[in-house]
Amino acid sequence: MTLTNSVTRMKEKIATRIALAALLLSSAASAAFAQGAIQAAAGVRSPVAPTKEQVQAAVNEAYEKFKNNTEGKNADYIPELGKVDPKLYGIAIVTADGQTITAGDVDKAFSIQSISKVFSMALAMDELGPAKVFEKVGSEPTGRPFNSVEAVVDMPSHTGNPLVNAGAIATVSLIQAPSADAKWNKILNFYSKAAGEKLQILNDVYKSEAATNTGNKALAALLLKYERIYADPVESVDVYTKQCSVGVTAKELAVMGATLANNGTNPLTGEQVIKRENVPEILATMTMAGLYDGSGGWAWHVGLPAKSGVGGGIIAVVPGKGAIAVFAPPLDKAGNSVKAQLAIAYVADKLGINLYSPRSVGVK
C-alpha cells in the first residue's frame, strides 16, 4: 500500500466517523426539540423559566425590601405631581402569555408622563414606517437631561430620539390627523389598545403642566428654527402635554409593556396593537435613551430596555417573556423613580432576566 493510498483510506475513515457523529447528534437534537414541542403543547413549562410562585416571591421581596426607602423627591416642576403621596408604591408584572403578578398600589392611577413617548413612537412608526421616523427624529442617545436645550443645539439631528422631550414633540408632530383633537383621540385610542382598557386624561395634571411648560414650548420653537418639527409647534406641544397626562395604573402599564414583549400583540385582548416588525427598534431606543442620562448605568446594571416617567412610573420589557411596571413617585436627579429602579433591578437579578447575561433565562 502506497503512502498516498493509506492517507486516503484514513481520510475516508475520519469522514465516515464525522458523518456518523453528525447523524447521531442531529437525531438527538431533533428528538429533544420534538420532546420540547410536545411539552410546550402539553403546557409543560421550560425547566429554566421561573414558576409563577418564584416570580411572585421575587416581587413580594422587592416590595418589602424597598417600601421604606425615602430617597428621592417627587417632581414638582409640574406642581400637581408634587401633591402625589410619595409613599405610593406598586409593582406589576404581566407575562407575554397574559399572567399577572402584583404587589402594593397597583390600581392607583398616576400620570404616564414620558412613558407615553414609547407608544407615540410606536404609533408614528406604524403610520409612517420606521425609516421615516429614523430620518425625521433619529435614535441617538443625548447623554443629557430629558429636557435639554443644549442637546437640541448640539446634536446633528437636533431632535435626538423619540424618547427625549424635543424628539417626542417632533414625533407627535409627525402623527397624521386632520386636527389637533383628532390627533389626540388617535393617540389616546392607541394607548388604550396597548393597555387593554379605556384610558383617560388626568385633567388636573394636564392643566398644571400646560400652565408651566415654557421649557417645552422653547424646545419646539428651537426645532422650528432647525426645521425639525413637522406640524404647528404650539399645537404639537399641547398634544404632547395631553399624552403625558394620561392616567394609568401600574397594572395597566405592565400590560402596555407586555404588549411590546409580546411582539406588539396585547396578551390580554389578543389584539395586534403595534406592528411586530417595529418592536426591535422601539426596544433598542428604550435601551439607549429610556432613562435619559441614566440609561448607560441602567443597561450596565440591569440590562433591560426600559422607560421612565416623572409621574414615578418605569416599565422594563423582557422580549418574548413579559414586562414589569413599578410606580413610586420620588425621583432621582435624572428624573427616574428611585424605588422603581431598585425594585426592577432586584427582580431582574433574582429571576436572571438581564438580556446581556449568559445567566439569562433560557440559555443557562
If one asks whether residue 309 binds ligand DON (CB under 6 A), the answer comes out as yes
246 catalytic? Reply is: no
* Strand residues in the chain grouped as ranges (E): 90-95, 100-104, 110-111, 200-201, 246-248, 306-308, 313-318, 322-327
Catalytic residue among 55, 94, 111, 117: 117
Catalytic residue among 292, 321, 347, 360: 292
Q: Who's near 191: CB < 8 A, 6+ residues apart?
A: 112, 116, 119, 199, 243, 246, 256
Query: Hey, CA dihedral for 109, 111, 114, 117, is it positive or negative?
Result: positive
Tell me which of 162, 264, 330, 335 binds ligand DON, using CB under 6 A. 335
Tell me which of 80, 105, 209, 252 binds ligand DON, using CB under 6 A. 209
Collapse the DSSP code of 354 into the 3-class scheme (helix H, G, I; strand E, B; otherwise coil) and give the result: coil
- In the bound complex, what is the minimum distance in angstroms from residue 67's beta carbon to ligand DON? 22
240 catalytic? Reply is: yes
117 catalytic? Reply is: yes
Instruction: Give whichever of 138 and 311 is closer to ligand DON, judged by the CB atom.
Output: 311
153 catalytic? Reply is: no
Nearest to 138, CA basis, from 152, 118, 158: 158
Spatial distance between the Cα atoms of 106 and 300, rounded to a whole number of angstroms:
28
Measure the N-to-C terminal CA separation of the chain; round to a whole number of Å: 51
Tell me which of 95, 102, 113, 354 binds ligand DON, using CB under 6 A. 113
Q: Who's near 213: CB < 8 A, 6+ residues apart?
A: 237, 241
Helix axes 180-195, 233-244, angle to 10 degrees: 30
If one asks whether residue 216 binds ligand DON (CB under 6 A), the answer comes out as yes
If one asks whether residue 191 binds ligand DON (CB under 6 A), the answer comes out as no
Which range binds ligand DON by CB under 6 A, 2-10, 118-126, 181-189, 305-313?
305-313
Instruction: Give whichever of 129 and 294 is closer to ligand DON, judged by the CB atom.
Output: 294
If one asks whether residue 205 binds ligand DON (CB under 6 A), the answer comes out as no
Instruction: Give whichever of 36 and 297 is closer to ligand DON, judged by the CB atom.
Output: 297
The number of residues that bind ligand DON (CB under 6 A) is 13
Nearest to 279, CA basis, from 261, 296, 292, 295: 261
Catalytic residue among 63, 89, 111, 114: 114
Residue with the shortest CB distance to ligand DON: 114
Tell me which of 63, 110, 119, 146 binds ligand DON, using CB under 6 A. 146
If one asks whether residue 238 binds ligand DON (CB under 6 A), the answer comes out as no
Which range binds ligand DON by CB under 6 A, 27-35, 88-96, 100-108, 302-310?
302-310
- Residue pair 195/255 in contact (Cβ under 8 Å)? The answer is yes
Catalytic residue among 310, 317, 326, 338: 310
Angstrom distances, CA of residue 323 to CA of 19, 163, 262, 304, 308: 44, 18, 9, 10, 13
If one asks whether residue 310 binds ligand DON (CB under 6 A), the answer comes out as yes
Q: Who's near 123: CB < 8 A, 6+ residues apart?
A: 175, 186, 187, 190
If one asks whether residue 308 binds ligand DON (CB under 6 A), the answer comes out as yes
Tell me which of 62, 118, 244, 279 binds ligand DON, using CB under 6 A. 244
Helix axes 116-128, 250-261, angle to 10 degrees: 40
If one asks whether residue 201 binds ligand DON (CB under 6 A), the answer comes out as no
356 catalytic? Reply is: no
Enumerate binding residues for ligand DON (CB under 6 A).
Answer: 113-114, 146-147, 165, 209, 216, 244, 308-310, 335-336
Annotated catalytic residues are 114, 117, 240, 292, 310
